[in-house]
A and B are shown apart, each in its own frame.
Chain A
Amino acid sequence: EAEVAQSPRYKITEKSQAVAFWCDPISGHATLYWYRQILGQGPELLVQFQDESVVDDSQLPKDRFSAERLKGVDSTLKIQPAELGDSAMYLCASSPLAGRTSTDTQYFGPGTRLTVL
């Protein structure tokens, strides 16, 4: 069964350092999402891509976060500089049709757990 791949699974960094997370969606999925999940809360959407284009980044802290999906396949999320409050699970998800049908759903990767010291 196809899965969303993410790496690394765990990342520990010091504040002010740069970190990057990688996601490879399920093959053929046009839509890719990055979420941040703080312990005890639900996932919060940071950015949504349709192919290589950003369709929603309203919740992305653009002063320190950036995301790209250059060829419309895999994606990278970067934080520079990292702050203590960025400690969270970063989840990537993909879906085939961007919610255009009622059966479209999101498939999540295992996530990257970031700890900022």
Chain B
Amino acid sequence: GQSLEQPSEVTAVEGAIVQINCTYQTSGFYGLSWYQQHDGGAPTFLSYNALDGLEETGRFSSFLSRSDSYGYLLLQELQMKDSASYFCAVRDEYPNAGKSTFGDGTTLTVKP
């Protein structure tokens, strides 16, 4: 099976940088995804890593180390609208391709 661990809450101030860590234990691994979910809304895709290293998408970056079963999401120049829950999700490998197991999420609060 799959299990993921991420901090339950993180607080930061506007304009700052915050890192949300995710460690995983999996029976199969194809890649690590990150999703953002605002209160009452649907999860939206942020980033995906299949290989080791850093992927950058605007203010958001995601990192993966397959050997350490570890990844993180880095949010820069924080804005109030970034207050949301952030989920890491492990994508399974073939023949279960497409199946994602989600962590329980990290609630980010951005303060002025």
Contact = CB atoms under 8 A, between A and B. Distances in A.
Interface of A: 31, 33, 40-45, 48, 56, 91, 95, 97-100, 102-111
Interface size class of B (residues with CB under 8 A): 20 to 34
Contact of A40 (B50, B100, B104): B104
Contacts of A91: 42-43
A114 to B, nearest CB: 14
A66 to B, nearest CB: 20
The 5 closest A-B pairs by CB, nearest first: A42-B102, A99-B98, A99-B97, A98-B98, A108-B42
A105 to B, nearest CB: 4
Nearest to B101: A45
B43 A108 contact: yes
A111 B92 CA distance: 23
